Structure 1
Amino acid sequence: MVTTLLVAVICLALAFDFINGFHDAANSIATIVSTKVLTPFQAVLWAAAFNFLAFFLIKDHKVANTIAKTVPEHFITIHVILAGLIAAITWNLITWWFGIPSSSSHTLIGGFAGAGMTNALYMHVNPIEAVNLGPTLQIMAFIFLAPVIGLVFGVVINIFILHICKNARPATAERWFKRLQLVSSGALSFAHGGNDAQKVMGIIYVAMVSQKVITNGAVMPEWIPLACYSAIALGTMSGGWKIVKTMGTKITKVTPLEGVSAETAGAITLFVTERLGIPVSTTHTITGSIIGVGLTKRASAVRWGVTINLVWAWVITIPISALFAGIIYSIIQFI
């Protein structure tokens, strides 16, 4: 039976997906806006269209399955999911307000795990047992691996492009790379939608399993991916200009050629990890790609002070989200 609380959780999950869209819109449009290939309004429409396109082409939902397995089924209740979502939305809005490009993915995972661990404490069980260590450690490892992979791809792709275009006229090359940025930013937006919308699909799925609306292992109802892709696309259309400024201008100055390199590197990383079912952060990936592109010029081209602050934000996202979720779950217990 569909309960009022389940409906509220689904609405909150879609709200998180919407916030994820405008929080992470900068990932796919920051470079295309900073190089003036598209206006901000044109860029968000372009990115939103490719976010939604993933609904038609990605059907395996491996990332959603990984998210659903973060917390063992017997520790999952509707209140655990509710607390995790409220914590994730809270941290996302705080980081958006201060223009910090933290990971929406890790915020959601931290909130879900933190609420599950708090539930275990109330059950007088070791809280570590409330976390499936295999998928969780894999997710945590990619906090650091995703930006490094993006960085490596960014360096390799940028050097390759510079080599094949070394004899091109600068004006002609810039004109072509401005056009190619439409392709690379579209690919990155597609990968962003395909990776990030699945995380909310996983949360909605386990919420429905916890309420016995569907059985664990059943095929995901088609309305879940449709709703999630729609929510993230609508969120992307609403922008997120504080983070666009950080991603597009504060890490390193980006030309159209470098924009193509960074976006292509980010898209490749996300495509590969999505196929492997690893829920990585789009934010971490594209940041690493932008740094890699900057390094091909010189190390001083990267503003390392800004970069170190971003890394600290990444490191604290999961524990802070988990702490928020634990507090919120405890409050819910007394209501």
Structure 2
Amino acid sequence: MDLVVVLVVVVVAVALVFDFTNGFHDTANAVATSISTRALTPHTAVVLAAVMNLIGAMISTGVAERIGSGIITPPEGPHGLTIVLAGLMGAIAWNLVTWRLGLPSSSSHALIGGLLGAGLTAAAQVHWEVVTWYIAVPMVLSPLVGFGLAAAVMVGVTWLARARPYHRTMRRFRLAQTVSASAMALGHGLQDAQKTMGVIVLAITAGDMYEGTAIPLWVKICAAFALALGTYVGGWRIIRTLGRRVIDLDPPRGFVAESVAAAVQYVAALGFHAPISTTHTITSAIVGVGASRRFSAVRWGVARDIALAWVLTPIVAGAVAAGTYLVVSPFLP
């Protein structure tokens, strides 16, 4: 069998493995708050998230096209496919490390960092304008917007509910969290499954098996199911971190954090086709609703560890990807 065909098959398979790790790594983004506030049982929450991820993955392809053609343009043939493979290996390695540590880092930024690390090492074409305006700027802005908007909305919700019966209010917010958790999971599918779609298109294009930026139906289906399956498996370590260790969540704060994070994801994906991090968005929203009560309500030591993981994500993933390319490339024709 031709080496290019073998590499395409390997890269597509590894891309789906990354998508699966993305699913179980980021399950917490959609369900941690609902489980923590007992709005949903763990099993119900994970099943709901898996279904909504699947639906969200099929809605739009703007983010997928951005990843597939907007970050790097690898050369055709074995070296181009090795660049994509190395980028995926860097992202998978970081996902597994942070999952083991229970840290909610960004699978998206791990993937982008991996592609950039391998691409720069191989002297591939990097689209710096796209990287700057559609990746770096949203990377900084999305958590700031999530934090500020969540804090502001939480202040408003607290004021509106101040004279309401406590137990009835909590019960209603628990019911509302079914909707907000669904919206968050839909947004996760809208964002994260598309990144794998884009990588698969990048691979089959480098293998000279496809032209254009449109996402084939088979790619959509494979990426959507891999993400949904990973979500169903669930990343319980990270769920505990987001749901319990950052702040003590109650149903109103869980509802506001999920709703704000989902809204930011929709605007980024549908309005700008920007591949933002669902992890950054929901984490910053959780910190925002906690800080709206009082500054000391947030466990800043945990938040500091999470922020450090965010900074390290593209750096470490990129370094692993660069090392992988340097090891493999001498054996290529």
For the criterion TM > 0.5, the same-fold answer is yes
1:94-120 Cα offsets, whole Å, 9 max, x none, are 110111111000000011111111111
Q: Which residue in the other structure is 1:125 paired with?
A: none
Superposition deviation, residue 216 in structure 1: 3.0
CA contact (8 A) 2:57 2:191 kept: no
Alignment of 1:1-335 (within 5 A): 3-56=5-58, 58-59=59-60, 61-68=61-68, 69-74=70-75, 77-120=80-123, 130-138=125-133, 139-217=135-213, 219-275=214-270, 276-335=272-331
CA contact (8 A) 2:108 2:275 kept: yes
Distance 2:24 2:57 in 1: 18
Superposition deviation, residue 86 in structure 1: 1.1
Superposition deviation, residue 296 in structure 1: 1.1
1:275-307 Cα offsets, whole Å, 9 max, x none, are 111100000000110011011101111111111
TM-score scaled by structure 1?
Answer: 0.93
185-194 vs 141-150, which deviates more?
A: 141-150
Distance 2:248 2:329 in 1: 49
> Which letter maps to 2:130?
P
Distance 2:101 2:159 in 1: 39
CA contact (8 A) 1:9 1:82 kept: yes
Distance 1:289 1:316 in 2: 21
Superposition deviation, residue 29 in structure 1: 0.6
CA contact (8 A) 2:64 2:215 kept: no
CA contact (8 A) 1:28 1:188 kept: yes
CA contact (8 A) 1:113 1:130 kept: no
TM-score scaled by structure 2?
Answer: 0.94
Distance 1:55 1:272 in 2: 15
Distance 1:99 1:130 in 2: 35
Superposition deviation, residue 141 in structure 1: 2.6
Distance 2:57 2:286 in 1: 27
> Which letter maps to 2:65?
N
> Which letter maps to 1:171?
H
CA contact (8 A) 1:154 1:292 kept: yes
Superposition deviation, residue 268 in structure 1: 0.4
Superposition deviation, residue 73 in structure 1: 4.4
Distance 1:23 1:13 in 2: 15
Q: May I ask how many residue pairs the two structures share in their alignment?
A: 324
Superposition deviation, residue 152 in structure 1: 1.7
Distance 2:126 2:311 in 1: 18
CA contact (8 A) 2:11 2:85 kept: yes
When the two chains are superposed, the root-mean-square deviation of aligned CA atoms in Å is: 1.5
Distance 2:288 2:113 in 1: 28
Structure 2 residue ranges without an equivalent (≥5): none
Structure 1 residue ranges without an equivalent (≥5): 121-128
CA contact (8 A) 1:143 1:314 kept: no
**Residues 160 and 239 from structure 1, CA distance in 2 versus in 1: closer, same or farther, beyond 3 angstroms?**
same
- Residue identity over aligned pairs, in percent, reads 39
Distance 1:224 1:264 in 2: 29
Distance 1:43 1:264 in 2: 16
Q: Secondary structure at the match of 1:334?
A: helix
1:196-241 Cα offsets, whole Å, 9 max, x none, are 1111111000111111111134x32111111111111110000101
